[in-house]
Amino acid sequence: MKHINLLKRLGTAALSLILLLSLAACGTQTSPTSATEAPAQKPESETTHAEGPSETLKGIYEALIAPDSDYSQGKAMSAEYYPEVEYTETLEASRITLSVNPNGNEYIQDGSWEFVEEGDYLTAVIADDDYTGMFNVLNVGNAIGTYFGLDNDLISGYLNGLGTLETESDNFSMTRDEAAGTVTYKFNISGPWDMKELDQMLLNETVLDDEPLGSEFISQGGAVGKMQYLANGSADSYTALFAEYGDLDDIAYQSIVNLVTLRKPAGWEAFLADFTELKDLETGDYSVKLDPDNETIAEIMGERKEKFSYVLVRFGSEEYGEAEYEAFIPDAEAFADFYFRVVAGYLKGTAGDSLSEAQSACDVLAFATGNELWQADMETLRANLLEAWESLTDEERANFDANFPDVNELLSGCFENWEGSRSRFEDAGVLDTMEDLLADETAQQSWDTLSSHTWTLGNGE
């Protein structure tokens, strides 16, 4: 079964960012080294940039805006959902400035972020609750790595490891100003990073959730140093896929032991007694598979990357029974904002309403599919829908009533004859998103669940 998973689309950068954001929000900081506190200064002409940006700053900027960069790919993904939002990059004598203009989009805030060259360092000061700014920090870090010939997957894990594990380094630091509510990020740009700290970076109690598993389904993942992982399930049925950059070694082994020790799936003690080294195992209670097949990797973590080596660890049954999985159900506010108001957000009979209808259809299908409404508790779903409906204004309800039948008909046509419908979504700029959604075999079931309960809420009254 294929599920839409934004982590798979965003890749390693997103996995790293999950932990990096948590770090900054919690106020943890990496203590600056002496080199960070008093950076060596470049010649005066280069420091003041009297003749324009340095070659290093220009190279980082070009790596940042390259079509295949994480930053550019993030922009392209945003454009699928919010084509009106404008992103701007500016290279000046001593800084790179990244800006966003939402052009009326209510979900995106405008902003501008500066990365200033100061001697051997590129510095940015970001509010500790500014997640867009933190995304930009990671993107700039990857651009620095690219400029110096380093691998982006390794750079992302390295930066996340330095921050999360509070590892001192001359290459990168985070310092939080409690009074100002900001975090200062500093990157060393004097030359390629040796990244000697990588061999110290394990998945451990600092990175991993240390609560033992229970009966509820959980999902967690992240990237630190050379290691990436995604783990899903409950105490009785738990699957974890590990990926290590390069060849598997003791970093992977210790990371697996740490996860099992902390999460304690059923049979964990016997597992630890049996798993004394990296090796294949197969028992009735658990298994270890070195180098799992591509299909298994793709289902859990996305397409295999040849530069990584993989290990699959399972406890209990291979598949998660539906009874073990308690689907998340959006609350009333989410249904109001991301369903009812999306459909009610344009006027029939006005210029561009056909494109708006296609955009709305794509957005609400993504909402239904991403929240897996096909397996939601129907009583809770209906209660939240009704509460959301009652929170709307009379005008919003009227607009929804006018637009919903056509949105539903458009989506029904997509399920029955996609080729006959695709041009509408191509014109609206959401073709790729719709094709991704329709590739998920649960999309129609999730939409039918939402649609059927919508019709019974008395929306036409």
Using pLDDT thresholds of 50, 70 and 90, give the confidence band for residue 250: very high
pLDDT score, position 326: 53
Which one, of 130, 84, 87, lies nearest residue 104 by Cα?
84
Rounded Cα distance, 100 and 227, in Å: 32
- Give the pairing of strands 286-290 and 308-316: antiparallel
Query: Is 211 among the domain residues?
Result: no
Q: Is the domain of 79 the same as that of 159?
A: yes
Q: Is the domain of 283 the same as that of 335?
A: no
Query: Is 61 among the domain residues?
Result: yes
Residue, of 16 and 281, whose pLDDT is higher = 281
The backbone torsions φ and ψ at residue 288, rounded to the nearest 5 degrees and listed phi first, read -130, 130
Query: Is 144 among the domain residues?
Result: yes
Q: Is the domain of 427 the same as that of 299?
A: no
Query: Is 1 among the domain residues?
Result: no
pLDDT score, position 80: 77
pLDDT, tens digit (0-9, with 9 covering 90-100), for 48-107: 455 789 999 999 999 999 998 989 988 888 887 788 999 999 999 999 999 999 998 877
Q: Residue 282's domain spans which residues? A: 218-323
Which among 276, 295, 323 is the end of a domain? 323
Residue 147 has pLDDT above 90, yes or no: yes
Query: Is 201 among the domain residues?
Result: no
Q: Is the domain of 448 the same as that of 346?
A: yes
Q: Is the domain of 235 the same as that of 91?
A: no
Q: Is the domain of 18 the same as that of 165?
A: yes
Q: How many residues does the chain have?
A: 461
| SS3 at position 337 | helix
Using pLDDT thresholds of 50, 70 and 90, give the confidence band for residue 161: confident
pLDDT, tens digit (0-9, with 9 covering 90-100), for 304-336: 999 999 999 999 965 544 444 456 788 999 999
Rounded Cα distance, 161 and 200, in Å: 9
Query: Is 460 among the domain residues?
Result: no
User: What is each CA distance from 299 to 1, 2, 4, 32, 129, in whole angstroms?
Assistant: 8, 7, 10, 40, 33
Query: pTM value?
Result: 0.59
pLDDT score, position 40: 38
- Give residue 422's Cα distance to chain centre: 27
Burial of residue 4 (CB within 10 Å: 0-12, 13-18, 19+) is: middle
| SS3 at position 62 | helix
Radius of gyration of the chain (CA): 24
pLDDT score, position 281: 95
Which one, of 260, 213, 266, lies nearest residue 240 by Cα?
260
Number of domains in the chain: 3
The backbone torsions φ and ψ at residue 258, rounded to the nearest 5 degrees and listed phi first, read -65, -45
Rounded Cα distance, 113 and 269, in Å: 49
Read off the DSSP letter of residue 17.
H
Q: Is the domain of 165 the same as that of 265?
A: no
Q: Is the domain of 261 the same as that of 113?
A: no
Using pLDDT thresholds of 50, 70 and 90, give the confidence band for residue 340: very high
pLDDT, tens digit (0-9, with 9 covering 90-100), for 187-235: 999 999 999 999 889 999 988 878 899 988 888 888 899 999 999 889 9
